[in-house]
Amino acid sequence: MTSILTVGVAVIDFVFRVEDMPKPAEKTRARDAAVVGGGCAANAAAAISRLGGTAHLAARVGQDMVGDMIVSGLRDEGVDCLLVRRFENRRSSYSSVVVDRHGERMIVNYRDETLDFGAAWLASSDLPDFDAVLADTRWPEGARVAMEKARERGAPGILDAEPPVREAQAALGIASHIAFGQKGLMDLTGEKDVETALRAAAAETGAWVCVTLGENGVTWLEDDGVAHMPSFPVEAIDTLGAGDVWHGAFALKLGEGSGEREAIRFANAVAALKCSRFGGRAGAPRYEEVEALLAEMR
């Protein structure tokens, strides 16, 4: 079984579905609500586990009840949480996500800024066997250690690059693959044109680079040119966590030994299926569903 180590952020989102967006000084009754695990690395790990991979998550969480919810939700998804470190007297991160009837979202998030940013404990941990490593840029020190470990073992080291990307500068130079979001790519390079920006990012980092454009697919550099893969056509019900799930699927395929093009196609199918259902990462698909969609669209 392919084994992926994901490193980064794990949170809880309290999601409320409302008719209309709430206004100040008002009390709005939600017509539905869900407590949904979130965070880039955690969502990716949950998606990998659903797809039949072995997912090991390394993350920092407070020793509090929100942290209990985070870990419990991940264990329910089959994610190995041995490297999820709990910090005494620190609080876990959580968000309130309000979604109105048009699918528009309003997010308020809280992060305990006193949570230790260091990753020396991870560097000296006894890591499990893995076929690829995926890290998000929200925990820069963790990302750096993750990319070093991948390089040491000769496995793909994939970075999910979101702003502020420069904070994860050290990891950028070690990663074998960097998958930018549109904002992350602009944030790093200052370039608006996708091809120019990708070339600048590749020149600076020496990594294979791509940018995920949501419903507009994925663009990457290939054979001195630019390649593009469109997204799969779906009715998007809920895009929460779609990018994270994409990264998890992409890392899984690279870990299995697939080429980038094949991995992108697979990840696009996974993200499309996720977006067709409500509930954040809880909408991530099983392997068979992805195979079925890929066969259908061939």
Binding mask 50-89 for its own copies (x = CB under 8 A): --------------xxx-xx--x-----------------
Residue in the structure block whose two tokens are 């994901």: 6
Q: Which whole-number Å values give the CA distances from 58 to 55, 75, 122, 130, 243, in the listed order?
A: 10, 13, 8, 13, 19
Nearest residue (CB) to its own copies, 138 versus 253: 138
> Looking at 55, 57, 98, 134, which residue binds its own copies (CB under 8 A)?
98
Residue 196: count other Cβ atoms within 10 Å of its Cβ. Answer: 12
DSSP 8-state secondary structure symbol assigned to residue 237: S
CA–CA gap between residue 46 and residue 53 (Å, rounded): 10
94 counts as binding its own copies under rule CB under 8 A: yes
Q: What is the closest distance, in whole angstroms, from the C-beta atom of residue 59 to its own copies in the complex? A: 18
23 counts as binding its own copies under rule CB under 8 A: yes
CA–CA gap between residue 265 and residue 281 (Å, rounded): 19
Nearest residue (CB) to its own copies, 96 versus 196: 96
Q: What is the closest distance, in whole angstroms, from the C-beta atom of residue 104 to its own copies in the complex? A: 5
Nearest residue (CB) to its own copies, 106 versus 226: 106
Q: Which whole-number Å values give the CA distances from 272 to 48, 55, 222, 233, in the listed order?
A: 15, 21, 24, 7
114 counts as binding its own copies under rule CB under 8 A: no
Interface positions with its own copies (CB under 8 A): 14, 16, 18, 21-30, 32-33, 35, 64-66, 68-69, 72, 91, 94, 96, 98, 100, 104-111
